[in-house]
Amino acid sequence: MRRALVTLAHPQHAGMLRALRVLDDASARHGWELRYAFPSQTPLLAEVGIPVARTTILPGLARWRRLGGAIALPGDVLRLARLARETDMLYSTTLSTFPLCFLAGRLARVPQLVHVYSSYGSPRAYRKHWLGRARHVVAPSLDSLELARKAVGGFRSGVRARVVYNGVDVARIVRESEGQVPETLRAHKALRVGMVGNLDWRKNPGLLVEAAPAIRDAVPGVQFVLVGAFPDRDAEEALRARVAALGLDGRVLVTGFLPNPFPVVRALDVLAHPALRDPFPLALLEGMALGRPIVAAAVGGIPEMLADGESGLLVPPSDAPALAKSVIALLRDAPRRRALGAAALDRLRTHFTLDGFGDAMFAAFDQAVADGVA
C-alpha cells in the first residue's frame, strides 16, 4: 500500500473537501492510502468525512506568504519533510501549498504532484515561479491546463501535465438527496431557482440576485435559494442590502453551509451557476447527478462539462438579462427542464464517472512515484 501526503491550505472550502473525500473513498481500490495536512482543524473536515486519524495540522501551510510565516518557513518546511518521509509522494491539491511541498519533497527525496485549479490569466509572480518548477501537473479541465501553461510560458521539457475531469458518486448523492429539506423550502410550493457554492466573488451570487426581479416578474411566486456560506460578514451584508433594495425580501433564502446540500439541490427546478471563473465546478456535477436542469456562465471548464442546448444552457458571464432569460424559459417549460436534466445525468455517467476520476488521479500518483525525484 502506497501513501500520499495531501496538503490543502483552505480547509474551509467545502467543494475541495468533497473532492478529497471522493478520492479517499477510491484510494484503497488503487493501492493507496491518503494522509492529510491542513493549516487548521475546521468543523467541515468531520462533516465532509475527512478521517481525523490520518490528519495532521500544520499552520505553516496557510501562513507562509505573510511576513511572520516567511520567517517561520524553514521550520515549516522541515516539519512537512518529516511527514513526507513516511509517504511515497506529496500531493498539493492547489498551487497554494506547492512551494512548501516542493521544498519538503526535495529534502525528503519524495516526488510532488500539484493540482492547478485556479485561472491564471493574471498570475502572481510566486505562482509562475513555483509552477514553472513542477514536474507533475494535473488540471481539472483543458481550460485550466492551458491557462497554467501560458502563465509559465510553456512547461519545461519532461513535465507530465494531464487533465483529470472530476467525478462524483451518483448513487451516494441520490441516496443523500432523500433527506429532509429545510422547513422554509417545504413551506414554499412555487418554483425554485438556486445556486450552490461558496458565496464569494468567483461564484458571483450577486448576478443571480440582479437577475431575480425579471425572473420574479415573469414567473410569479418563484423562490431563490443560495446554498453556501459567505466569505465574510461584509460580503453577506452587501448582498442582503441588495436583496432588500430590489424588493426581494422573503424571496431569497440563504441556507448557509449545509453538510448535505443534496436534498435542497434536488428540490430546485433550475440550478444556476453565474460564476465569473470556475475551473470545473463540483456543484454542477452534483446537480447533474440529480438530473437538475442547469443554466451556467460559459467560463472556465464549464463548456467542457455541459453541451450548450443539449445538457444545459450556457450564458455569457456577468450578463444578468441573459441569465434571467434562460432561467425564465426553463421555468415556463417543464418538459424542457426534464429533458435537460436527463441529458445532464447521461453526460455525467458517460464523461465524468467516479471510476474515471479515481483511475486517472491514481495513475498520476503512480507515474510520479515511478519517475522519482529529478
Same domain for 309 and 209: yes
% of the chain surpassing 90 pLDDT: 70
C-alpha cell, 358: 479515481
Same domain for 204 and 148: no
State the Cα–Cα distance between residues 288 and 305, nearest whole angstrom: 10
Q: Domain count of the chain? A: 2
Mean pLDDT of the chain: 91
What's the average model confidence in pLDDT over 131-149? 92
How many of the other CB atoms lie within 10 Å of CB of 257?
16
Same domain for 213 and 200: yes
CATH number of the domain at 320, please. Answer: 3.40.50.2000
Same domain for 183 and 162: no
Residue 226 has pLDDT above 60, yes or no: yes
Residue 80 has pLDDT above 90, yes or no: yes
Same domain for 208 and 73: no
Q: What is the pLDDT of residue 124?
A: 64
Assign 194 a pLDDT band (cuts: 50, 70, 90): very high
Same domain for 304 and 289: yes
Q: If DSSP codes are grouped into helix, strand and coil, which group holds residue 56? A: strand
Q: List the domain range (segments joined by +) for residue 184.
A: 176-351
pTM of the model: 0.87
C-alpha cell, 100: 512548501
Same domain for 271 and 184: yes
Same domain for 297 and 343: yes
Q: What is the pLDDT of residues 152-164, one digit of tens each?
A: 888 888 899 999 9
Q: What is the pLDDT of residue 67?
A: 67
Same domain for 120 and 98: yes
Q: What is the pLDDT of residue 284?
A: 97
Vertex 175 angle, CA 173 and 180, to 5°: 100
Same domain for 222 and 138: no
Residue 126 has pLDDT above 70, yes or no: no
- How far does CA 145 lie from the centroid of its chain? 16
Are 371 and 136 spatial neighbours (Cβ–Cβ below 8 Å)? yes
Same domain for 161 and 35: yes
State the Cα–Cα distance between residues 67 and 69, nearest whole angstrom: 5
Same domain for 260 and 113: no
